[in-house]
A and B are shown apart, each in its own frame.
Chain A
Amino acid sequence: MTAIEATPPLLEVEDLRVEFDTYGGTVKAVRGVGFAIEAGRTLAIVGESGCGKSVTVQTLMGLVPMPPGRLTAGRARLRGRDILGPQSADAEEFRGNEIGMIFQDPMVSLNPTMTVGRQIAETLEVHRGWSRHRAFARAIELLDLVRIPNAAQRARQYPFEFSGGMQQRAMIAMAIACEPAVLIADEPTTALDVTIQAQVLDLLAELQRTEGTAIILITHDLGVVARMADEVAVMYAGQIVEHGSVDDIFYRPAHPYTVGLQAAMPSNRSGAEHRLQPIEGSPPDLFSPPVGCAYAARCPHAMRICAERDPPRFYRAAGHFGRCWLNHDAVPDGARILRAAAAGPTVETDR
């Protein structure tokens, strides 16, 4: 046990802060995000559009154009070695090699003027220095691995000849070409039908089982989170407002925003139905984030302190925190409020 604790986590991100300069001012898109992930584990990052989840991982991949973007604080280490900022001389070596990424929209992420096989092979030529011939042969094997039928023939086709599900598999093949230790999947199944989504999720889970890949899965679909994640980070307005195991997040939430996301979805429990409860209002303006809790303006349980002081991390258990004042000892029924809200107003219906 002590030996395990002594080794640094596979990927560790600390206090990441990213800003963008725009004509309207400076947008504080990521405001102090930190997490760690181990080999063979899946961390899901959930949150609404604009919460900073994509900017967080794009920063790790070096995909945020700077300027207008700016990294104002934070570090990220892969096996203890810095991959961000001025300390990291060999950042290009990590990106696409040890950290692979799958994008949301395969149609716009693949190059329409190159055959699918060549695009996959290119990764191997750049990072491994393989010959064109050897890399292309491996690209065919990879397409076969992600279960594209007639891989040898398909490798010579262009992206438009692939269906949406096959394009996403081709993206996965490209991302895993260099056998990355960490695979970042940014909404990998949002554009796909449920049946194809199930195939892609099964494929990712199998790759993880056989290769021990760590997966960072960005999604707003709580069903996908429940299926895939070991751990969940809930992001709101550029911060992680709750982090815990998948069971913590679904059964013992420590933040009203987590509760709100669940109450906004149909539950599918046979015989029991709750009316969908939308989260009223919209996320705060990140040009000038509020002084206190960013969620206070939309929170049904907001107290005076919420508008005045940003809540710290309140740990409910090892590895499970919520940044919400309801978890404070001085709020005697805080835990009860969160628990009651999590259950939702369940009523019988005759539908």
Chain B
Amino acid sequence: MSAADPLIVADRLTKHFDLSRGRKVHAVDGVSLTIHEREIVGLVGESGSGKSTFGKALVGLLPKTAGTVSYRGEVLPQTYKVADFRRHATAMQLIFQDPYSSLNPRMTVGEIIGEGLRLHRRLSAGDIREKVASWLRRVGLEPDHMSRYPHEFSGGQRQRIGIARALILEPEFVVCDEPISALDVSVQAQVVNLLEELQASMGLTLLFIAHDLSMVRYVSDRMAVMYLGSLVEIGPAAEVFFNPRHPYTEILIASNPQPDPQIERKRQAIALSGEIPSPVNVGAGCRFAGRCPFTMDVCRSVTPQLLPVPDHPDHFVACHLDR
């Protein structure tokens, strides 16, 4: 791993949503994560684990309940005001999961992609058109697509439009929130290759949120696993995927079917019973204790800390078994 400088540092980032009668949804609970320049960090977890909320809180789309996010050493505001968005949106962007609902159907593709330039850069209409045209080419579309509307495009093409919109301001850090989940396999490969090319040519830093574990392993330098609002494991992507240390990571990876019938025939059924519990008013102890096959007494009372695995200084796990 390169000794690049940290670009984004989340320190005990917490996001709770208030419900009625004092109940709270602990969507993200004290997550600390450092993302280095030009690094791709993959974030996996089941629906409801808080991975999208974490991504949105990082770029300021959600106010933080506690904890901080710093960008190049500067602590970002807890709640963004208009001026904060103006200042930081050019450096941090988001690519959304659903290429259907995330593009305004009443705007042309040219307006959608050029909107960031209009708001943040003093450019003439002609210059904006020129930049939008060059970005359309860069993401594999045609400049004359500019005057069309989103409904005229397929899912893969729309995701390319979303990518062009996010990258036209040349941000440094991009949160990709499930950018390929809604696409066909062959189109997924197109979009992933495009993201990789742009990441290399622009020196982007990415947080790649997905639930396709094989794809996250393929794309990422490091892989982080989230469960019920906390990070349970993080380390080099191949190491986490092939040598998982947390029982939850192990079950998650074993549940991921491999495109290889021989491997699948040898597989033992280890399907995880039950479902992710409600994140409302979570108590002490390990959050996975209720579903874990190896639960001990200590798991129910003491919350395990994310600590390095012996002899693997860049692989961290939050589990009492590993002590």
Contact = CB atoms under 8 A, between A and B. Distances in A.
Nearest to A248: B261
B75 to A, nearest CB: 33
B264 to A, nearest CB: 4
Given A193-B46, A265-B189, A222 B259 contact: yes
Interface in B173-219: 184-190, 192-193, 211, 213-215, 217-218
B214 A195 contact: no
Interface string B261-272: 111100101011
Given A202-B271, A270-B242, A194 B259 contact: no
B261 A247 contact: yes
Interface in A180-197: 193-197
A159 interface: no
Contacts of A279: 186, 189
Contacts of B188: 264
B104 interface: no
B214 A265 contact: yes
Interface stretch (A223-231, A284-292, A299-307): A223-231
A277 interface: yes
B257 interface: yes
A126 interface: no
Interface string A302-344: 0000000000000000000000000000000000000000000
B269 A266 contact: no
Contact of A195 (B190, B255, B261, B263): B255
B192 A276 contact: yes
Nearest to B272: A195
B255 A226 contact: no
B252 interface: yes
B94 interface: no
Interface size classification for chain B: 35 or more
Nearest to A147: B273
B211 A194 contact: yes
B297 interface: no
B240 to A, nearest CB: 12
Given A198-B272, A247-B261, A265-B214, A222 B256 contact: no
Interface residues of A, number: 46
A199 interface: yes
A221 B185 CA distance: 8
Contacts of A96: none
A166 B267 CA distance: 24
B127 to A, nearest CB: 32
A280 B238 CA distance: 28
Interface in B113-157: 154-155
Contacts of A202: 269, 271
Among A201, A226, A229, A268, the one with the most B-chain Cβ atoms within 10 Å of its Cβ is A268
Contacts of B190: 278, 280
B311 interface: no
B100 to A, nearest CB: 13
Contact of B260 (A165, A224, A226): A226
Nearest to B253: A194
B261 A268 contact: no
A278 B261 contact: no
B218 A266 contact: yes
Interface string A254-289: 000000111011111010010111111010000000
B1 to A, nearest CB: 11
B189 A278 contact: yes
B184 A195 contact: no
Contacts of B255: 194-195, 197-198
Nearest to B251: A195
A223 B256 contact: yes
Residue picked from A194, A260, A261, A282, most chain B C-beta under 10 Å: A194
A278 B193 contact: yes
Contacts of A250: 259-261
A226 B259 contact: yes
Contacts of A221: 185, 257
Contacts of B263: 226
A14 B188 CA distance: 33
Given A48-B185, A264-B188, A351-B237, A246 B261 contact: yes
A275 B193 contact: yes
Nearest to B194: A278
Contact of B264 (A227, A267, A273, A278): A227
The interface centre, meaning the residue of A201, A251, A265, A266 with most chain B CB atoms within 10 A of its CB, is: A266
Contact of B252 (A195, A266, A351): A195
B275 interface: yes
A166 B274 CA distance: 10
Contacts of A194: 46, 211, 213, 252, 255-256
B67 to A, nearest CB: 26
Contacts of B237: 351
A202 B270 CA distance: 10
Nearest to A260: B186
In the A-B complex, the 10 residue pairs with the smallest Cβ-Cβ separation, listed nearest first, are A223-B257, A266-B218, A278-B189, A222-B259, A264-B189, A278-B190, A279-B186, A198-B255, A276-B189, A198-B271
Interface of B: 46-47, 154-155, 184-190, 192-193, 211, 213-215, 217-218, 221, 236-238, 241-242, 251-252, 255-264, 267, 269, 271-273, 275
8 contacts: A198-B257, A199-B271, A222-B185, A226-B258, A250-B260, A268-B260, A276-B192, A279-B189
Given A166-B275, A222-B259, A223-B259, 20 more contacts: A48-B186, A49-B155, A196-B46, A198-B271, A221-B185, A223-B256, A223-B257, A225-B259, A226-B260, A226-B261, A227-B257, A250-B260, A262-B259, A264-B189, A265-B185, A265-B259, A268-B260, A270-B242, A279-B189, A351-B237
